[in-house]
Homo-oligomer: A and B are copies of this chain.
Amino acid sequence: MANAFVTQPPPLKDELDIVIPTIRNLDFLEMWRPFLQPYHLIIVQDGDPSKTINVPSGFDYELYNRNDINKILGPRASCISFKDSACRCFGYMVSKKKYIFTIDDDCFVANDPSGKAVNALEQHIKNLLCPSTPLFFNTLYDPFREGADFVRGYPFSLREGVPTAVSHGLWLNIPDYDAPTQLVKPLERNTRYVDTVLTIPKGTLFPMCGMNLAFDRDLIGPAMYFGLMGDGQPIGRYDDMWAGWCCKVICDHLGLGIKTGLPYIYHSKASNPFVNLRKEYKGIFWQEDIIPFFQSLTLPKEATTVQKCYIELSKQVKEKLSKIDPYFDKLADAMVTWIEAWDELNPQGASQANGKANGKA
């Protein structure tokens, strides 16, 4: 690898939380036990608070249902989605750790081509601990991986890279397709294990999936808002996408990196394409305006923190996307509420959005 950046061991228990949006499948935690049991779990129950989630013994966890969210956030709980896995972002907010790994309960442990079980968490941490290279593409992919480096013609001044804020992992078996593609290709399975990690270049947007995702909460946490989905909202299945587009433009602005590729998980179950189509169809055409909005968006240089960037972004959403649908007006307000709630629960990192300096760069 290019440099000995990765000298630290994987983070200890007090540096990482696992955030899971409900657990419907009891096999899920058993399968992940060898990898996840050392860490603390934050489970955010997305539906009926009266239902009980049985967490197998041996796991260290805290569980929040809707009543807990309402109690903790008060009126600001309105920014957290109900009856949708988008509620998971509440877990990002209440965590006090540096790193978050979030995973869906239909994601099992994948095997690499040699048949070895993939420790997804370990790979995410490797991705996050070494730099990203968003300013120039390296044809041998992540130059910080073992056995790789920067190739001939890569400018030396760019080889230090930038801090990595997000690690986006992929899925074997059921690919993350939209409803139209699910309907057209119901039998398609992803069997190709692509042994690589790469940085999404600066200025390029990507579809961030929340199924198998890790990030540095200190670097990008306040932008990891999963929006308003599910109960009472006109749209679903765009929670992670929205977060990804917001994160990407903010990372580009602040000089942070996003990696995609390894690790794989095994995605066991396709969601119902008919239900998905109902959730998605507005998003599918709204997106045709949303993407140009994000592609042309610029943030002012005064926006030097994630919170300031996010508040600025919310203003531009209100100004430029509200004409698509009143939903975006509501979403822009929820984005502000989210930052207020984040800063309330994370007072050390708070207030940049409101211009009160408190020493956190």
Contact = CB atoms under 8 A, between A and B. Distances in A.
Nearest to A291: B155
Interface string A191-233: 1111110001111111111000000000000000000000000
A302 interface: no
A52 to B, nearest CB: 31
A141 B288 contact: no
A241 B154 CA distance: 9
A177 B151 contact: yes
B203 A137 contact: no
Contact of A205 (B136, B157, B189, B287): B136
A166 B113 CA distance: 30
A328 to B, nearest CB: 17
A192 B195 contact: yes
Contacts of A113: 113
A237 interface: yes
A174 to B, nearest CB: 11
A170 B140 contact: yes
A148 interface: yes
Given A147-B190, A168-B139, A202-B204, A176 B157 contact: no
Contact of A141 (B188, B194, B202, B291): B194
A206 to B, nearest CB: 4
A262 to B, nearest CB: 10
A137 B206 contact: yes
A188 B237 CA distance: 44
A10 interface: no
Given A139-B209, A158-B291, 17 more contacts: A136-B204, A136-B206, A136-B291, A137-B200, A139-B206, A140-B170, A147-B188, A147-B190, A148-B192, A149-B181, A151-B176, A151-B207, A152-B181, A156-B180, A156-B284, A192-B195, A201-B204
16 contacts: A137-B206, A140-B170, A140-B190, A148-B190, A152-B207, A152-B241, A153-B240, A153-B241, A153-B244, A154-B207, A155-B287, A156-B284, A196-B196, A202-B203, A202-B204, A204-B204
Interface of A: 113, 136-141, 145, 147-158, 168, 170, 175-178, 180-181, 185, 188-196, 200-209, 237-238, 240-241, 244, 260, 280, 284, 287-288, 291
